[in-house]
Amino acid sequence: MRACVKASGRRVWGLVYRHLSVYRRSWPRVVEMAYWPALQLLIWGFTAQFFARGHGAGGAMAGGALIAGVLLWEITLRGQLGVTFTFLEDIWSRNLGHVFVSPLRPAELIASLLIVSLFRTVFGLLPAFVIAYLLYAFNILVLGPALFLFLANLMVMGWWVALLIVSLLFRYGAGAEALAWTVAFGITPFACVFYPLSALPIWLQPVAIVLPPEHIFAGMRVALFAHSMAWSELAMAALLNGLWLLVASGVFAGQFRAARVRGALISIGE
Amino acid sequence: MDAITVKNLTKRYPGTLAVDDISFSVPQGAVVGLLGGNGAGKTTTISMLLGLLVPTDGTLIVLGHDMASDRFSALARMNFSSPYIALPQKLSVIENLRVYGHLYNVPRLGRRIGELAEQFNLTGLLGRLAGELSAGQKTRVALAKSLINRPDLLLLDEPTASLDPDTGDFVRTALEAYRRESGASILLASHNMAEVERLCDDVLVMKLGRIVDRGTPENLLARYGRDDMEQVFLDISRGTEVGV
């Protein structure tokens, strides 16, 4: 049993090592990880500062919520891109054939993608957090220990969205590549990052309610404005994340199996 | 026990019968050639043996493991090489070998990489990016990768395609040496008839998804009254096969 776990860990490390080796020698890839989050923060940070100036304490709080929203939502976006981009790297390098004929289990493939995604997200967002502190005097740690619960939930959301996209890549091959860059951005209007649920039309609110970020960002606003924890919102977010993760894992397993039936694993890069 | 036992293997795609009810076995320690023109079903058969493709029907037992229910146990003891599937170009040779050493849980990996580097003249190339290598060098790296776990069964899809005669001979010599030292079985899909004659104990000839003939190279040459396998291959491709 212990030997099996060790072998499994080595297989996961093998793929993680494969991707980290590329980052180690490619500074453009490292810069790319941090570029977009930093740019987003600069744009929205100055916007928040502009509004805060003319609107007193209320404006400052709204500005803080805007910056916190940008930073936290980037975790989902980066988490998702971290998985799909890493998977696409293997498609682009036409290497998946070798990977899939090794003893690597699908669950180990997913584990390695998540670890690389975590690495990309942490290194991609650290500069943005530092910029928020230095330029806008916004310290993300004001959210308190609950911050880590928000972060974990947002990361998990990015991961299950990514699993659904990877499933589409199994189904439609590299032709579905564009979805890897756009799907999570498409969820943003329903994520209620910068506004409460009530800002959405009634008929769109059910879409937002079944997605975890509406609850996470509602909880974030309570933490920022009332300095208390909306545990029920966090619990709902965690429950929804669990359910969506189950759905995404099922879709992934189904599409992986279907790809083996259709022979798509051989031609996934074409 | 045979390294590979295939019974009534069929692969059907919508509108296409890629592999049509084939049965064969590869004895332990044997080198078996899989011949056939383009679209004969060789790559489909190899893909099913590797677990990349689920058969429509039939059974595949590889190294004693049923590929339908226990493919990972078999995959750990197999390996594969094909010039049509690349190794990551942005990784150095040693990084590529480390990646696959980890994937195959190779013990004392550093030492194993050293052995392979020496055997395949890769020592001076270990730090070079795979994408910077010549075709011959890439083939040597791919072959080193395919032997990293000392496989009991090696599946090779046209291992010497587009190589110069010298490199092709180097690869064939390395395969002969590995088979001699390890007693491994090899299933070799190739269009190079001289290679098949030199390496294979037994040959399966496929056409339109079926095995249309089989036998040792000597046996096939005698049966078709030809001097070399190239002529036998042409006879079979053009529809004058003697039959199984």
The predicted structure's pLDDT at residue A139: 84
CB burial readout B51-86, b (16+ within 10 A) else e: bbbbbeebebbbbebebeeebeebbbbbbbbbbebb
Stretch A40-64: mean pLDDT: 83
Least confident of A9-13, A152-156, B35-39: B35-39
User: What was the pLDDT predicted at A140?
Assistant: 82
3-class DSSP assignment, residue B8 = strand
Interface pTM, i.e. ipTM: 0.90
Distance from CA of A211 to the nearest CA of B (A): 35
- What is the per-residue pLDDT across A240-250, written as a single tens digit (0 to 9) for each? 999 999 999 99
Structure confidence at residue A180 (pLDDT): 82
CA distance B23 to B57: 12
State residue A125's pLDDT score: 94
Question: Which positions in chain A touch B90 (Cβ < 8 Å)?
Answer: 22, 25-26, 93
How near does any CA of chain B get to the CA of A122, in Å?
Answer: 23
**Most confident among A38-42, A127-131, A266-270, B111-115 (mean pLDDT):** B111-115
Residues of B in contact with A90 (CB under 8 A): 88
Of A21, A95, A103, the CB nearest to B86: A95
Residue of B nearest to A257 (CA): B54
In tens digits, chain B (244 residues) has pLDDT values of 899 999 999 999 999 999 999 999 999 999 999 998 888 999 999 999 999 999 999 999 999 999 999 999 999 999 999 888 889 999 999 999 999 999 999 999 999 999 999 999 999 999 999 999 998 899 999 999 999 999 999 999 988 887 888 888 999 999 999 999 999 999 999 888 888 999 999 999 999 999 999 999 999 888 888 888 888 888 887 876 565 5
Which pLDDT band, with edges at 50, 70 and 90, does A37 fall under? very high
Q: What are phi and psi of B226, to 5 degrees?
A: -115, 165
Beta bridge partners, B214, equal B204
Q: Please answer whether residues B149 and B76 qualify as being in contact, where contact means their C-beta atoms are separated by less than 8 angstroms.
A: yes
Report the residue from B47, B88, B105 with minimal CB separation from A95. Answer: B88
- Amino acid type, B17: L
Question: What per-residue confidence (pLDDT) applies to B229?
Answer: 84
What pLDDT is attached to residue A130?
A: 93
Chain A residue closest in CA terms to B101: A14
